[in-house]
């Protein structure tokens, strides 16, 4: 399913994990520099890679992904048992699982957690519309009965943001006041803008066997993991070089040469990491018309934005398809509308759409430096097409808050890893900021999600990608590889789209 380079990010280190197995010792503290502060620790109510990356250490889901991005059981005992008509999914739970507060996990907790997920999570709502019944069969078995088959159910249950995490039923509330999960680490202390301190949960029950991507055994070698918000990318680089951070996330591509050959850190490149995107505001303001969105689409030059953002050509690919070569979802449908960079065409489309001269408000953050650089280039191309532009540069936490308010922006910039199923692509549901609510999109999305035949799903996705270019609810800039930095003493670490630190240990 996945591009070979991406699979290699997991598979290529599996031998290293095995080689370290005998030498690993418990102990030590790892400091992880992240791109900024989290606005919430509730992975149900928000999306975002940073949120998923951090919270996966203390919250767990029924399923996760193995090194080949296949769905693998986590809190579930096995993959769902699905009825012949595809409507009834029976999930058996692992026994002996304990929450951080000492209580035992049962089907009562899982059903209550899933009900909250169905109600508040953008991806949970995709399932809720098709759900007929959710119930506990016994203490360690639950059953979901659907109105019609739903192909991506297990994938949605496995995803780590907008995540179906399992909570103690008595802790569940509309707004969480306690963050109690089943994960290998638990929260000890949070000091906003300073650190989130996680400590080993001694009551954790790992799966048997060896680690396998996010699946398999989750081994607890480290005593503590500290996530430190470091909004400035250059500060993350210098902190890694100084040995202040054992891992520094998402660094500028131009820092590769600076990191290379250092004693206390080393560069890590994750090939074909993901894709940046410009999300248009389909709900309020000037971008609510297809004509204006198509004008922006025609104005932008993806190649120049990628070059400005990543510098080295080996860090990016100019590609309009929403999946790269090597993915089963790969299609070129609609990509004639990609990377046009034609100011005159954009100006004509804007005039036809009734553009009134008001500035396009672009919301971005320097905590992801490549977002900011792309925004700068985009602004210049839009100006050449006759648009006024207002660049609103804020910290990432503020951006996440503002993007939920449609009156505050016209375009915001984000990015996503390449995900194992299109149903996981964030801006597809109408509930995601951007609020793309096309009638044709809803029809195709329902068809994609209810079709169980893999080849037919690929054909439906091709139609959906073409519609994305026809209606321009968002703009894919291209593909990029991600640069991070890791201390040589941090061993047994598996590079991934959402870095995790169970299974890792500190060498001498």
Q: Do residues 285 and 182 share a domain?
A: no
Q: Do residues 129 and 175 share a domain?
A: yes
Structural domain containing residue 188: 4-24+37-229+492-506
Q: Do residues 165 and 216 share a domain?
A: yes
List, for residues 237-254, the tens digit of each pLDDT value: 999 999 999 999 999 999
Q: Do residues 389 and 502 share a domain?
A: no
Three-state secondary structure along 311-323? CCHHHEECCCCCC
CATH number at residue 311: 3.10.105.10
What is the length of the chain?
508
SS3 187: strand
As for how many domains the chain has, the answer is: 2
CATH number at residue 200: 3.40.190.10
pLDDT of residue 39: 86
Q: Do residues 221 and 359 share a domain?
A: no
pLDDT of residue 303: 97
Domain presence at residue 263: no
Domain presence at residue 357: yes
Domain presence at residue 251: no
Q: Do residues 469 and 497 share a domain?
A: no
Cβ contact 431:70 at 8 Å: no
pLDDT of residue 21: 43
How far apart CA 316 and CA 434 sit, in angstroms, is 25
Domain presence at residue 245: no
Domain presence at residue 236: no
pLDDT of residue 1: 39
How far apart CA 49 and CA 58 sit, in angstroms, is 15
Q: Do residues 285 and 416 share a domain?
A: yes
Using CA of residue 148, residue 152, residue 155, residue 160, what is the dihedral sign?
negative
Regions in the chain scoring below 70 on pLDDT: 1-23
Burial class of residue 6 in the structure, from the number of CB atoms within 10 Å of its CB (0-12 exposed, 13-18 middle, 19+ buried): buried
How far apart CA 504 and CA 491 sit, in angstroms, is 6
pLDDT of residue 16: 44
Q: Do residues 131 and 217 share a domain?
A: yes
């Amino acid at each position: 399913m996945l591009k070979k380079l991406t699979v290699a990010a997991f598979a290529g280190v599996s031998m290293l994990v095995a080689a370290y197995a005998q030498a690993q010792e418990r102990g030590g503290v790892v400091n992880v520099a992240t791109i900024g502060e989290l606005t919430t620790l509730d992975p149900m109510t928000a999306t975002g890679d940073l949120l998923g990356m951090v919270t996966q250490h203390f919250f767990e889901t029924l399923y996760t992904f193995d090194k080949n991005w296949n769905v693998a059981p986590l809190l579930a005992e096995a993959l769902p048992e699905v009825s012949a008509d595809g409507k009834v999914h029976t999930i058996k739970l692992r026994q002996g699982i304990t929450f951080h507060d000492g209580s035992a996990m049962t089907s009562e907790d899982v059903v209550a957690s899933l009900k909250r997920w169905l109600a508040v999570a953008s991806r949970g709502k995709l399932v809720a519309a098709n759900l007929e019944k959710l119930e506990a069969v016994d203490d360690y078995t639950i059953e979901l009965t659907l109105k019609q088959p739903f192909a991506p159910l297990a994938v949605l249950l496995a995803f780590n943001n907008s995540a179906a995490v399992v909570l103690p039923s008595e802790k569940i509330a509309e707004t969480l006041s306690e963050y109690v999960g089943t994960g290998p680490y638990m929260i000890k202390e949070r000091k906003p803008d300073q650190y989130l301190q996680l400590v080993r949960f001694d009551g954790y029950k790992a799966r048997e066997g060896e680690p396998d991507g996010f699946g398999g055994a989750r081994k607890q070698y480290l005593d503590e993991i500290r996530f430190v918000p470091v909004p400035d990318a250059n500060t993350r680089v210098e902190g890694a070089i100084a040995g202040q951070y054992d891992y520094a996330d998402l660094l500028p591509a131009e820092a590769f040469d600076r990191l290379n050959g250092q004693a206390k850190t080393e560069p890590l490149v994750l090939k074909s990491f993901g894709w940046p995107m410009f999300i248009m505001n389909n709900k309020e303001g000037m971008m609510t018309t297809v004509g204006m969105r198509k004008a922006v689409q025609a104005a932008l030059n993806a190649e120049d934005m990628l070059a400005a953002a990543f510098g080295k050509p080996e860090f990016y690919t100019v590609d309009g398809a929403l999946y790269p070569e090597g993915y089963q979802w790969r299609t070129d449908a609609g990509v004639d509308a990609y990377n046009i960079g034609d100011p005159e065409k954009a100006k004509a489309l804007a005039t036809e759409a009734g553009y009134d001269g008001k500035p396009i408000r672009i919301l971005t953050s320097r905590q992801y430096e490549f977002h900011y650089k792309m925004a700068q280039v985009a602004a210049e191309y839009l100006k050449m097409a006759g648009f006024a532009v207002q660049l609103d540069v804020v910290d990432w936490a503020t951006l996440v808050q503002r993007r939920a308010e449609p009156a505050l922006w016209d375009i915001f910039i984000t990015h996503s890893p390449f995900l194992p199923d299109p149903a996981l692509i964030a801006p597809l549901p109408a509930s995601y900021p951007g609020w793309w609510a096309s009638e044709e999109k809803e029809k195709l999305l329902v068809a994609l999600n209810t079709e169980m035949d893999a080849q037919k799903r690929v054909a439906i996705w091709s139609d959906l990608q073409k519609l994305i270019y026809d209606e321009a609810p968002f703009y894919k800039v291209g593909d990029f590889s991600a640069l991070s930095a890791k201390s040589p003493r941090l061993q047994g670490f598996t590079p991934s789209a959402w870095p995790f630190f169970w299974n890792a240990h500190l060498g001498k």
